[in-house]
Structure 1
């Protein structure tokens, strides 16, 4: 599970339309392009599919090319080599002053660590942790795995933090591009071992 409470600044790439969900409730759908800066290589533009509960009566203002700021919950869906961004919006601001694209906010992650937990020291002599962990989603007869790189500054390694261990973490979301590959990272503020509860049909 990966959920991010974020604010997105970008440009509308698909005009707003009104649709209905499985419960026949109306929602407004549109898409936003956001440029992710590259640490190496060329910047990458991602398209975020946005849904906002209810019918936006000013959706004529949601024109392609208009700058917009959206707050809400961002989730990711991986299918093969493709990564899709989906956002459930709580608020939309169509009078944005900033011309700079950004995706800023906090990630809530639940998954399993990879094979390596690295304990490092920065240039100032402070300890930090670096490791990757994945979240798995069941798709048809298999699974899709989405990896996140974690950085824990001023943090000692706890005994439970081992390879192939369940983890629950919160922290600052960081998206970047390196050699045309999108990287998802998290600067950890909270972290604990996650033990999956056995399925109980009575709950």
Structure 2
């Protein structure tokens, strides 16, 4: 006879709990983005200490989504803050500093790295390719800063539902949900 009491947990209870534990890790590790499944260029880049326009959010945490561009911390992002953030984001993505983004540079954070050894799914790779083709207006195989900023302007215009030149997370979320 064993010194330990015998637990009688049934298999129907153990399997769902095990699945929940296994699935919770990757879900929590996913980067957060805006409240919609919009394009990567519309998604703000991850916060980094070098980015002056990253405003702190509640409780001193880095702001998320569009609000990370609220550099004066007034609760809204105006067109100037958005554009300054997108220009900084272009510089951050332009790894070789040639003033143009390749598809690899544009989607570098979703590529496999030693810390994240998962390549994009086939569907995600197709979406990335299609998005890159839309950004590359002159079809030269790279995205210039002008092409990148043109898309950023369209993204801001979509989020600025009342067309007052300012937006916040709630207005952007509502506008993007209406545009689906």
TM-score, normalised relative to structure 1: 0.22
TM-score, normalised relative to structure 2: 0.24
Greater per-residue strand proportion = 1
